[in-house]
């Protein structure tokens, strides 16, 4: 998910997507522990998406506090 796509989303949509991505990461980690994933880069991509979502939420929170 690109930053431009995330910025177009509302805060509640970002929070929902963040929860989904965290659940997905847990599932991927469990599957990877049991048997190697076909594409282990999915773990890295999921973590990066979570980081992007958190970053945009934090930016918006800081902008609200400054106003």
Asked if 32 and 43 touch (Cβ cutoff 8 Å), the reply is yes
Q: What is the tens place of the pLDDT at every residue in 18-52? A: 999 999 999 999 999 999 999 999 999 999 999 99
- Determine the pLDDT at residue 12: 96
Q: Are 53 and 18 in contact (CB under 8 A)?
A: yes
Map out the domains of the chain with their CATH numbers. 3-66 (1.10.287.310)
For the cut 90, the answer to whether the pLDDT of residue 1 exceeds it is no
């Amino acid at each position: 998910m690109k930053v431009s796509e995330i910025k177009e989303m509302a805060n509640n949509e970002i929070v929902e997507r963040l929860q989904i991505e965290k659940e997905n990461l847990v599932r991927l980690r469990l599957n990877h522990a049991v048997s190697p994933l076909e594409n282990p880069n999915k773990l890295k991509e999921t973590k990066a998406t979570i980081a992007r979502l958190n970053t945009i939420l934090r930016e918006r929170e800081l902008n609200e506090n400054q106003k």
